Copies of this chain bind each other. A is one copy, B any other.
Amino acid sequence: MWEKVWEQDKIAYGGDYNPEQWPEETWEEDMRLLKLAHIDTLTLNVFSWAALQPSEEEYRFDKLDKIMVLAKENGMKVCLATSTGAHPAWMAKKYPEILRTEFGGVKRKFGGRHNSCPNSLTYRKYSVKLAEQLAERYQNYDNIVAWHISNEYGGECYCDNCEKAFRVWLKKRYGTLEELNRAWNTSFWGHTFYDWDEIVLPDTRSEHMELERTMAQGISIDYRRFNSDSILECFRLEYEAVKKYTPQIPVTTNLMGAYKTLDYRKWGKYMDFISWDNYPSNEDSVSKTAFHHDLMRGVGNGKPFVLMEQTPSQQNWQPFNALKRPGVMRLWSYQAVAHGSDSVLFFQLKRSIGGCEKYHGAVISHAGHENTRVFREAAELGRELEQLGGEILGSVGTAETALMFDWENWWAVEYSSGPSIDLKYHQEALEYYTALHSKNIPVDIIGEEDDLSRYKLLIAPILYMTKPGVDERIRRFVTGGGIFIATYFSGYVDENDLVITGGYPGRLRDILGIWVEESDALPKHLANQFIYDGQEYEANILCDIIHSEGAKTLAEYQKDFYQGTPVITCNSFGKGTAYYVGTHSGAEFYQKFLGDICRKNNIHPAAETPKGVEAVKRVREKEQYLFLLNHNEEAKEVHLPESFAELLTGKEYQKGAILKLPAKGAAIMKSR
């Protein structure tokens, strides 16, 4: 049987609602408007710590009680936040140790949000206590569908307390200073540590030139692990607190897509379900958003997730906060659902009147009524989702292709001093992904430790850090018939960023059948070229100089002193094949190259569509849903490969029929 993300009978619709910012007499009118928009789910209590706990001894739940009753009486489901995303001012004054110290050493004062030192025992004590009190008090509300711990966890702290906690964390990781000195290669530049207390946090006061440039990669990567773990620990403590009273209610926190600071791959293991906030910038492509949805689904091990936030229209923190054009909010909502969301939730349901988010989009605008374009679009989408009922819920993806994306590798690649500042891990992964996405080929974005057995194709862009076992898993995958694609700057280091000597790409060398002797880094205007299948493509960022050790050459450099040497290779290994792309190229190449490989290996798209029409499939037991999303500014036609019922209009289509999608239109085709 398929599994529900949370206790909802339909795709949840609603979002963040902050009645505590408004006079009580306005609440009933809000309810009228929200119900008019077919909203059924409210995220409550996100930033109320200061209101709920006016002093160390005192808690006041009277207003939240009223809000909970209001929600209940109006038939709303509640996603209840624990409010610990911003500590109260009195606490910062009384216990300054809860304030973070920034990268570079500046001690913060009270202000902003996400402002608590994750290793502050005071913060942990009072955040857990608040979560516990909320769980105890509201445990009998059967309309609570999830706990929303804190909010958009993130950031770093460099305080003395964290420094001490880092040493404890290191002792646990390495056991002895000998092992730590080895792992950090401290003989370089005479950094040998003789006492744990000699270790300091890596920032511009110690090892960093700037935020993303360090002189000691090993230390800096460990700090990132430690910081991610420290914040995760805050989540886990609150998790346990609410579970004491409500073991049946699932617990989440809202993630932020490809957020570099936290190792979400590890976080996913401790969350009952994944939820995340989708805020593409004006410049972001459709495939970038798709990538982030798939990434979030991936950290949740492929299960459906919850879209916790998106804006009904504009944002407020972009340089230029464009309105979402008519239809776009609906289209992107269905894109989220297509990629695995079982919800459509907004930040925010009602615009605040003061503070920095007052010009962020909302279902209820400052005008305060329903006669706005944004409200009408929201209400229309609400109506559609209501009509969909239980369809789609719990269904999952169908990918035969996996793309490896690992946070620790991300950190390591971009901390590297040399060979090129153009090495961008997220971007590289996105380019491979985009080539597949443009062909509607479904992709699972997986971690280095995930099971490979269900895939035909594995792509591992810039697999620079090969953690223990990953080469062996890939070796088994290829031996068993899998297709593997690796790129330049792969296999260099182990989990401590120590080079695996003997020749690049290290432990992947036998699988790929090559040895990379050198790697040339040039600015993009000095690109090299190669010819693949009769067409010339650019080679830039890095140009690996490759010796085949069994691999076949698919393309060669066209100039410079390594002219005529291999740049793309292909190695038969066991029953499978391992490709190596020894450089960075452009979108046309990735589309051509991956297209060829998919074709050859019977990896099929969700559907064939015109350019700019995204096709995504979700399946649930015997049910199959094909989402068709027209991101173009004009109408498009899709030839239907089988018979479908279109769920939003209720129309039936025969195999071979043509579906007309208006500009920005969306359709959900259920197989018949």
Q: Are A111 and B420 in contact (CB under 8 A)?
A: no
| CA A200 to CA B192, docked complex, whole Å | 36
Of B190, B319, B374, the residue contacting A86 (CB under 8 A) is: B190
CB neighbours (8 Å) of A109 from chain B are 200-201, 205-206
* Known interface pairs A105-B106, A325-B561; 8 further A-B residue pairs with C-beta atoms within 8 A, sorted by A's residue number: A50-B190, A51-B192, A111-B216, A112-B215, A313-B518, A319-B523, A351-B499, A368-B502
Q: Are A110 and B50 in contact (CB under 8 A)?
A: no
**Interface residue A88 (Cβ < 8 Å from any Cβ of B):** yes
CB neighbours (8 Å) of A602 from chain B are none
Binds B, one of A6-14, A135-143, A181-189, A301-309: A181-189
**Interface residue A596 (Cβ < 8 Å from any Cβ of B):** no
**Interface residue A259 (Cβ < 8 Å from any Cβ of B):** no
| CA A489 to CA B504, docked complex, whole Å | 54
Q: Are A314 and B419 in contact (CB under 8 A)?
A: yes
| CA A109 to CA B203, docked complex, whole Å | 9
CB neighbours (8 Å) of A365 from chain B are 517
Q: Are A522 and B320 in contact (CB under 8 A)?
A: yes
CB neighbours (8 Å) of A323 from chain B are 518-520
Of B92, B326, B504, the residue contacting A561 (CB under 8 A) is: B326
Q: Are B515 and A191 in contact (CB under 8 A)?
A: no
Task: Identify the closest chain B residue to A197 (Cβ).
Answer: B93
Q: Are A216 and B325 in contact (CB under 8 A)?
A: no
Of B83, B107, B111, B201, the residue contacting A202 (CB under 8 A) is: B111
**Interface residue A266 (Cβ < 8 Å from any Cβ of B):** no
CB neighbours (8 Å) of A83 from chain B are 190
Q: Are A20 and B187 in contact (CB under 8 A)?
A: yes
The 15 sampled A-B contact pairs (Cβ below 8 Å) are A51-B192, A89-B198, A107-B205, A109-B205, A111-B200, A111-B205, A111-B216, A185-B353, A215-B356, A217-B356, A315-B418, A320-B419, A357-B417, A366-B499, A368-B503
A508-562 at interface with B (beta carbon < 8 Å): 515, 517-523, 560-561
Q: Are B217 and A355 in contact (CB under 8 A)?
A: yes
Beyond A83-B190, A417-B356, whether A322 also contacts B502 by CB under 8 A is no
Q: Are A204 and B523 in contact (CB under 8 A)?
A: no
Lowest 5 A-B CB distances belong to which pairs?
Answer: A185-B354, A111-B206, A316-B418, A188-B355, A359-B418
Instruction: Name the residue among A109, A197, A216, A318 with the largest chain B CB count within 10 angstroms.
Output: A109
**Interface residue A153 (Cβ < 8 Å from any Cβ of B):** no
Task: Identify the closest chain B residue to A99 (Cβ).
Answer: B205
| CA A89 to CA B199, docked complex, whole Å | 8
Of B47, B190, B197, B215, the residue contacting A47 (CB under 8 A) is: B190
Q: Are A354 and B316 in contact (CB under 8 A)?
A: no
Q: Are B215 and A355 in contact (CB under 8 A)?
A: yes
Beyond A21-B185, A218-B354, A502-B368, whether A112 also contacts B195 by CB under 8 A is no
Beyond A50-B191, A194-B89, whether A106 also contacts B108 by CB under 8 A is no
**Interface residue A422 (Cβ < 8 Å from any Cβ of B):** yes
CB neighbours (8 Å) of A503 from chain B are 366-368
| CA A473 to CA B424, docked complex, whole Å | 57
CB neighbours (8 Å) of A252 from chain B are none
Of B188, B215, B360, B416, the residue contacting A418 (CB under 8 A) is: B360
Instruction: Name the residue among A104, A318, A355 with the largest chain B CB count within 10 angstroms.
Output: A355
| CA A217 to CA B359, docked complex, whole Å | 12
CB neighbours (8 Å) of A90 from chain B are 194-195, 198
Of B184, B192, B352, the residue contacting A354 (CB under 8 A) is: B184
**Interface residue A498 (Cβ < 8 Å from any Cβ of B):** yes
Binding site for B on A (CB under 8 A): 18, 20-21, 47-51, 54-55, 83, 86, 88-90, 92-93, 104-113, 184-195, 197-202, 204-207, 214-218, 282, 313-323, 325-326, 351-360, 365-368, 372-374, 416-422, 496-499, 501-504, 515, 517-523, 560-561
Give chain B nearest CB distance to A311 CB in angstroms. Answer: 11
Give chain B nearest CB distance to A130 CB in angstroms. Answer: 11
Give chain B nearest CB distance to A135 CB in angstroms. Answer: 19
| CA A205 to CA B115, docked complex, whole Å | 10
| CA A366 to CA B519, docked complex, whole Å | 12
Q: Are B499 and A314 in contact (CB under 8 A)?
A: no
CB neighbours (8 Å) of A215 from chain B are 111-113, 355-356
Q: Are B106 and A518 in contact (CB under 8 A)?
A: no
Q: Are A190 and B499 in contact (CB under 8 A)?
A: no
Q: Are A417 and B317 in contact (CB under 8 A)?
A: yes
Q: Are B214 and A517 in contact (CB under 8 A)?
A: no
| CA A108 to CA B113, docked complex, whole Å | 28
Give chain B nearest CB distance to A456 CB in angstroms. Answer: 33
Beyond A107-B205, A319-B421, A360-B418, whether A190 also contacts B88 by CB under 8 A is yes
| CA A496 to CA B354, docked complex, whole Å | 8
Task: Identify the closest chain B residue to A185 (Cβ).
Answer: B354
Q: Are B316 and A417 in contact (CB under 8 A)?
A: yes
Q: Are A192 and B89 in contact (CB under 8 A)?
A: yes
Give chain B nearest CB distance to A373 CB in angstroms. Answer: 7
| CA A107 to CA B200, docked complex, whole Å | 13
Q: Are A501 and B367 in contact (CB under 8 A)?
A: yes
Of B206, B359, B372, B422, the residue contacting A419 (CB under 8 A) is: B359
Give chain B nearest CB distance to A245 CB in angstroms. Answer: 23
Q: Are B214 and A54 in contact (CB under 8 A)?
A: no
Of B51, B372, B497, the residue contacting A518 (CB under 8 A) is: B372
Task: Identify the closest chain B residue to A367 (Cβ).
Answer: B503
Task: Identify the closest chain B residue to A417 (Cβ).
Answer: B356
Beyond A109-B206, A200-B110, whether A51 also contacts B190 by CB under 8 A is yes
